A and B are shown apart, each in its own frame.
Chain A
Amino acid sequence: MNNKSLKIDDLQASISGKKILKGVSLNIKKGEVHAIMGPNGSGKSTLAYTLMGHPSYKIEDGSLLLNDENINMLSPDERAKRGLFLAFQYPVAIPGVTVMNFLRNIYNKKIALANGGKPVSIFQFNTLLKERMGFLKMEESFAKRYVNEGFSGGEKKRLEILQLEILNPDLAVLDEPDSGLDIDALKVVSEGVNRAIEKGVGVIMVTHYARILNYVKPNFVHVFIDGRVVKSGGPELAKELEDKGYDWLKGKVNSKH
């Protein structure tokens, strides 16, 4: 189980012909927590989308190795099958599809893949869902709403974490799961992330602020500027960034790279 890993090697990617990722290398093992911190517009979401195979993002060079398999060319669902997951910074609405139906669908798909298993009944699933929603302090009526439609920022983030917990992937990229949350919501979301980590998921935590790292402890911190990792270190690096901001690192390229 612990040999599961994602190796990002010199990843370069562009959107609409514009190069955003300019050579990113990272090595994430299952169970580890990597924080990626960087200013707005530095390409953090681009990295997340490229890892997940968004069709608008083109890999120009470099490779993605998931458990030693090159996944550069795989579609998003093939990547999901192999254990990747993205909690979106801005999750999209799916009008008319209830949270409950949506979650049961993706859960059953996952189960069917995992062991060719039978789908769970509506009743079984609702029992599970109720429990998980309770953990995230979500009202029961939430399950009947349409996916991300008219959700507040905090509700969207919770639904992303709910999916993380229900799907239990091997490796999850969490793209700013903390943005726009008040302190209570931040705690609830962090607890969800920590439960997932306890179950063994590897995490790439993309964040703009160090705040969430007080609740979710990273093993590694990477500073991301202008499409590159310019510095890597331990948790103490987050503290340093909080004090000093990003400016002192601009124009710097990580020596390890």
Chain B
Amino acid sequence: MTKGIAGIGEDYKYGFKTPEKYVFKSKKGLSKEVVEEISHLKGEPEWMRKFRLKSLEIFLKKPMPWWGGDLSGVNFDDIYYFIRPSDKQGRTWDEVPKEIRDTFDKLGIPEAERKFLAGVGAQYESEAVYHNLKEEWKKKGVIFLDTDTALKEYPDIFKEHFSTVVPPADNKFAALNSAVWSGGSFIYVPEGVHIEIPLQAYFRINAQNMGQFERSLIIAEPGSFVHYVEGCTAPIYSTNSLHTAVVEIIIKKGARLRYTTIQNWSKNVYNLVTKRAVAYEDATMEWVDGNLGSKVTMKYPAVFMHGRGAKADILSLTIAGKGQNQDVGGKVIHMAPHTSSNIISKSISQNGGRSSYRGLVKVLKGCHGVKSNVKCDAMILDDKSRSDTYPYMDIDEKKVSIGHEATVSRVTDEQLFYLMNRGLSESEAAAMVVSGFIEPIVKELPMEYAVEMNRLIQLQMEGAVG
């Protein structure tokens, strides 16, 4: 019965624009001058300036990826690489320039902060306009800052870890980020500290043809726990924007880290992100990666399990609608015995959208007792849409247990008929089946996001069916 379901863009409620009033805007395009200018404006140490310049060279040398999404619409000359929104960062929302504050109000960030967060960072274009961590956690030695400030205030911890997880030469976009990075979150959780409620960062692009290149670095000391949540949105423009982040995570012995992303960029954003964690002995890394928005996303959160007993959990949820290509997945690298990983991917393709699961399970020689399970479920809602699975395996050890399972499903006429017989309209029935499909992942999201997710699905099902 279902003819198709409205794409997310039709109901995108974050597409509003705010007038551009900036302290500084670099000229369009990428060059050595632009990179030097960024470093200079930030007053960075020499090593960082050099790091950026070297990264730029790598970027220029590396070819575009030949696989993944269609990146022919990315024009590196047509992007603003640095925009400073405000000359001062707020510790309270009152200190944030009014128009920017209004934007975050509309996005519900200050309210969420009051209700259920331990700390919040808000980045607007290239830099953080607000950052705050509740006193309680500061007292326990937790550091939660934007990455620029962290470089100034904690130069030693910073330099020790920065770029150790994702080197600039890792891939073309990691090199780009390394050259022009700005903003992002820096988190340090001291040994044994459990931050019971989430820290959240929100990334907003407002300007047209903007490139946002935040860089995050998270260090979880032994036995600690933190849940970090990030959200992101942008206005709808007819020209393209670029979001290229790098996230580096270090989880030490017995620590656990959960990183939840709700990516909801407008459909003119190319989202090309490198996210990677290293997990030491008995450490646990959990990626909960929701991709709803953007034009093209290429993102494969990775966990390198260096220590015996380390664990990786990757939950990936994707919705690809009209004009969208979501090329996502996860990578787990087993580098020690008795490490385990679990990847669950759920994708919904509709209205001509295309989603791909691309994943890697790698086990090095000698890593006996490794357990890995991959489960990919795709739901395709109409004949125009498409879903593919590319599960790569590279197993160099015999004494391991590896599982892989993939399913493709649809909302069936029988399901719609059953639910409509109970009084639900066709769109409500379709929404129910779809929300059931993603339930195993949605139930892992923070409450507020779970509610929002179900609301989005509901909205999407309206109008386009029947």
Q: Which A residues form the contact surface with B (CB < 8 A)? A: 52, 54-56, 75-77, 79-81, 84-86, 88, 91-92, 94-97, 102, 105-106, 109-110, 113, 146-147, 163, 167
Give every chain A residue within 8 A of B412 (Cβ-Cβ): 92
* Interface check B19, CB cutoff 8 A: no
Contact A91 B423 (CB under 8 A): no
Docked CA distance A163–B412 (Å): 21
Given contacts A55-B1, A94-B433, A97-B432, contact A106 B418 (CB under 8 A): no
Give every chain B residue within 8 A of A109 (Cβ-Cβ): 422-424, 428
Give every chain A residue within 8 A of B417 (Cβ-Cβ): 52, 54-55, 76
Docked CA distance A91–B439 (Å): 21
In the complex, which residues 414-466 of chain B have their Cβ closer than 8 Å to any Cβ of chain A? 414-415, 417-426, 428-429, 432-433, 435-440, 466
Contact B435 A96 (CB under 8 A): yes
What's the minimum C-beta distance from A93 to chain B, rounded to whole angstroms?
Answer: 8
What's the minimum C-beta distance from A53 to chain B, rounded to whole angstroms?
Answer: 8
- Pick the residue among A55, A77, A94, A147 that contacts B423 (CB under 8 A): A77
What's the minimum C-beta distance from B429 to chain A, rounded to whole angstroms?
Answer: 8
What's the minimum C-beta distance from A128 to chain B, rounded to whole angstroms?
Answer: 16
Contact B423 A167 (CB under 8 A): yes
Give every chain B residue within 8 A of A79 (Cβ-Cβ): 421
Contact B422 A167 (CB under 8 A): yes
Contact A55 B413 (CB under 8 A): yes
- Pick the residue among A75, A77, A97, A105 that contacts B439 (CB under 8 A): A97
Contact B437 A86 (CB under 8 A): no
Task: List 19 A-B residue pairs with CB atoms under 8 Å apart, sorted by A's residue number.
Answer: A52-B421, A54-B417, A77-B420, A77-B424, A77-B426, A79-B421, A80-B422, A80-B423, A86-B421, A94-B418, A96-B437, A96-B439, A97-B436, A102-B432, A105-B432, A106-B422, A106-B424, A109-B423, A146-B436
Give every chain B residue within 8 A of A76 (Cβ-Cβ): 417, 420-421
Docked CA distance A102–B424 (Å): 11
Contact B415 A94 (CB under 8 A): yes
Top 10 A-B pairs ranked by shortest CB distance? A96-B436, A96-B439, A97-B436, A76-B420, A80-B423, A77-B420, A106-B422, A92-B414, A109-B423, A92-B418
Contact A96 B440 (CB under 8 A): yes
Docked CA distance A109–B425 (Å): 10
Apart from A75-B466, A102-B432, A106-B422: 9 A-B pairs, beta carbons within 8 A? A75-B420, A77-B426, A79-B421, A85-B422, A96-B438, A97-B435, A105-B432, A110-B423, A147-B436
Docked CA distance A16–B3 (Å): 20
Q: Which residue of B lies closest to A56 (CB)?
A: B413
What's the minimum C-beta distance from A90 to chain B, rounded to whole angstroms?
Answer: 9
Given contacts A55-B1, A56-B413, A94-B415, contact A81 B423 (CB under 8 A): yes
Give every chain A residue within 8 A of B414 (Cβ-Cβ): 92
Inter-chain contact total with CB atoms closer than 8 Å:
73
What's the minimum C-beta distance from A140 to chain B, rounded to whole angstroms?
Answer: 19
Contact B436 A94 (CB under 8 A): yes
Docked CA distance A55–B421 (Å): 12
In the complex, which residues 71-95 of chain B have their Cβ closer than 8 Å to any Cβ of chain A? none
Q: Which residue of B lies closest to A112 (CB)?
A: B423
Chain B interface main SS type: helix
Contact A88 B423 (CB under 8 A): no
Contact B421 A92 (CB under 8 A): no
Q: Which residue of B lies closest to A169 (CB)?
A: B423
What's the minimum C-beta distance from A173 to chain B, rounded to whole angstroms?
Answer: 10
Give every chain B residue within 8 A of A110 (Cβ-Cβ): 423
Docked CA distance A86–B433 (Å): 19
Given contacts A56-B413, A75-B426, A105-B432, contact A95 B420 (CB under 8 A): no
In the complex, which residues 1-42 of chain B have their Cβ closer than 8 Å to any Cβ of chain A? 1
Docked CA distance A156–B312 (Å): 37
What's the minimum C-beta distance from B346 to chain A, rounded to whole angstroms?
Answer: 10
What's the minimum C-beta distance from B405 to chain A, rounded to whole angstroms?
Answer: 14
Most chain B CB within a 10 A radius of its CB, from A54, A81, A96, A106: A96
Give every chain B residue within 8 A of A85 (Cβ-Cβ): 421-422
Give every chain B residue within 8 A of A88 (Cβ-Cβ): 418
What's the minimum C-beta distance from B218 to chain A, rounded to whole angstroms?
Answer: 31
What's the minimum C-beta distance from A197 to chain B, rounded to whole angstroms?
Answer: 20
What's the minimum C-beta distance from A208 to chain B, rounded to whole angstroms?
Answer: 21
